[in-house]
Amino acid sequence: MEINYKLTELNKACDFILNNVKNEIILISGDVGAGKTTLIKEYCKLIGVNEVVNSPTYTLINEYLSKNGNVVHMDLYRVKNINEINELGLLDYFENNLVIIEWPEIILKILDLNHSILKITYLNKNERKLSIKNI
């Protein structure tokens, strides 16, 4: 499943996610500057997060409360190996939370739970393609 959207149509992309993601673990990848965090911010608004949503690039994890429960937003860009994931206890967050992970490539090696993979492709300055695969 995929959709093209303009940066002014983030709500369209978020509705697409809401209607097509079938899991509580969402992995989102794309090049630097593709709009991962921007899309996550808008998606969090849609699902009822009232807090300011920020990139967890340096904190690794941000937690928010939505109208349906906890949202855990992770950024694994700076995580270098599987041992760090285990040492940080990141997998403990997967139970009873909606987990959204940017730069998920490292965790894919050990993830054995149902998840949805979102990929943002930079088409041009104002347009992106979003694809979703449920596993």
Q: How many domains does the chain have?
A: 1
Residues 45-54 have a mean pLDDT of: 94
Tens-place pLDDT, residues 95-104: 889 999 999 9
Q: What is the CATH number of the domain that holds 125?
A: 3.40.50.300
Question: For residue 96, what are the domain limits?
Answer: 2-134
Tens-place pLDDT, residues 51-84: 999 999 888 999 999 988 999 999 999 998 988 8
> Across 7-135, where does the E strand assignment appear?
25-29, 61-66, 69-75, 98-102, 116-124, 127-134
Its pTM stands at 0.91
